[in-house]
Amino acid sequence: MATTPQSHPGASAAEPLETPDLAALEQLAIEVARACGRLIVEERPRHVDVAATKTSATDVVTEMDRRSEALARAMLRHRRPDDGLLGEEGLDATGTTGITWVVDPIDGTVNYLYGLPGFAVSVAAVTGDPRVDGAWRPVAVAVINPMLGEVFSAHRGGGARLHRDGTTAALHLDAAADLASSLVATGFGYGAERRAWQGRLVAELLPRVRDIRRLGAAAIDLCHVAAGRVDAYYETGLHPWDVAGGWLVVEEAGGVVRGVGEAPTEAFTVAGRPEIVAQLTEVARAFLPADEG
Ligand code: LIP
């Protein structure tokens, strides 16, 4: 993501031209996430090949990433033809409605490549420009973990939900905990230099928290915060498609998702109860690039 002066998420974001039915957008996000989730599981080849690499030899793309994004594009174009689109695998189209769909067709691609269950499809309707840090915010989202049959969804002001086994449960973060008793999820980038200082940051945190979990998909990590499966999550180097879906699920469950400033940015994303987020940010600040720390 390009960086811009921090502002409150969505504060500088252009509002939709018409007032969308956010509950309807949430339902559409769920429908698209479920369809893409079915595709990547039911049509997963026995042996998944690497179709291409991006920022490094380990930053991989599979044909299923591309097929999932193509399916999301086709469904969203059919149902919301004038909205914008932004996806991890190259989808990028401006719209005229003030709503942009931000899609991660497979979040946790390395897990998918290795046959590990921790991968997701994230579909998020956002206002503002998701290509600019701090100038956008999600308004209706769905994140599916197709291997577990779990769908997390939310719309702004409408709460967050977990749909599983035909039932739907509201998500609410429970009372604050302290950092020392917190289970903290994180992740690491694909570049050796970034991984080196991410390793120094996690080494600094390790003696200060209950424990660390590295599950491999930001969207799932964020939804686990909302579901109380981890107490907090932080990461550096995330893109809008990694964050957009889980961001709103956490906020609508009563948590906060921030950067060093108000909005999550490529430089730093942290989520959880406000007290934990503040303590994690203070520790991370010393490890962040000077213009973010
Ligand atoms: C992944 C993120 C994860 C991060 C991985 C990777 P991808 O996204 O969801 O949090 O730790 O390195 O960036 O590349 O699987 O879509």
Residue nearest atom 16 in ligand 1 by C-alpha distance: 107
In this structure, how many other beta carbons lie within 10 angstroms of the beta carbon of residue 152?
Answer: 33
pLDDT for the residue 10: 44
126: which residues sit within 8 A by CB, 6+ positions away? 13, 99, 100, 101, 102, 136, 137, 138, 139, 240, 244
Ligand 1 nearest-atom number relative to CA 109: 15
Residue closest via CA to ligand 1's atom 11 equals 187
Ligand 1 atom closest to the CA of 187, numbered from 1: 11
Q: Can you give the pLDDT at residue 1? A: 38
- Relative to the CA of 221, which ligand 1 atom is closest? 10
CA atoms within 13 A on the CB side of 32: 37
Q: Residue 21 Cα, ligand 1 centroid: separation in angstroms?
A: 31
Q: How far is the CA of 271 from the centre of ligand 1 (A)?
A: 16
Q: What is the pLDDT of residue 6?
A: 36
Give the per-residue pLDDT at 57.
Answer: 80
Please say whether the beta carbons of 255 and 161 come within 8 A: no
d(Cα 273, Cα 276) in Å, to the nearest integer?
A: 5
Structure tokens belonging to residue 59 = 């930053």
Give pLDDT, residue 8.
Answer: 37
Ligand 1: distance of its center to the CA of 27 in Å?
25
pLDDT tens-place values along the chain, 293 residues long = 333 333 334 434 456 556 789 999 999 999 999 999 999 999 999 998 888 888 888 888 899 999 999 999 999 999 999 999 999 999 999 999 999 999 999 999 999 999 999 999 999 999 999 999 999 999 999 999 999 999 999 999 999 999 999 999 999 998 667 999 999 999 999 989 999 999 999 999 999 999 999 999 999 999 999 999 999 999 999 999 999 999 999 999 999 999 998 999 999 999 999 999 999 999 999 888 765 55
Q: Which two tokens stand for residue 101?
A: 């769909």
Token digits of residue 4: 């811009």
Give the side-chain half-sphere CA count within 13 A for 139: 23
Q: Whose CA is nearest to atom 13 of ligand 1?
A: 189
Query: Vertex 259, ends 255 and 261: CA angle to 5°?
Result: 105
Best CA proximity match to 230, nearest among 180, 280, 276, 184:
184
Distance of CA 19 from the midpoint of ligand 1 (Å): 33
Rounded distance between C-alpha atoms, residue 103 and residue 111, angstroms: 18
Testing ligand 1's pocket by substitution, the residue of 242, 257, 269 carrying the most ligand atoms inside 8 A of its CB is 242
Q: What is the pLDDT of residue 133?
A: 94
Residue type, 182: S
Number of Cβ atoms within 10 Å of the Cβ of 132: 15
- DSSP for the chain, please give it: -B------TTTTSPPPSS---HHHHHHHHHHHHHHHHHHHHHT--SSPPEEEESSSTTSEEEHHHHHHHHHHHHHHHHH-TTSEEEETTS-EE--SSSEEEEEEEEESHHHHHHT-S--EEEEEEEEE-TTBTTSEEEEEEEEEETTTTEEEEEETTS-EEEEETTEEEE----S---GGG-EEEE---SSHHHHHHHHHHHHHHGGGSSEEE--S-HHHHHHHHHTTSSSEEEESS--HHHHHHHHHHHHHTT-EEE-SSSS--SS-EEEESHHHHHHHHHHHHTTS-TTT-
CA of 242 to the centre of ligand 1 (A): 7
Report the separation in Å between the CA atom of 103 and the middle of ligand 1, taken as the mean of its atom positions. Answer: 13
Give 191 Cα–ligand 1 centroid separation in angstroms. Answer: 12
Which residues approach ligand 1 with their CB closer than 6 A?
88, 104, 107-110, 187-189, 216-218, 235, 242
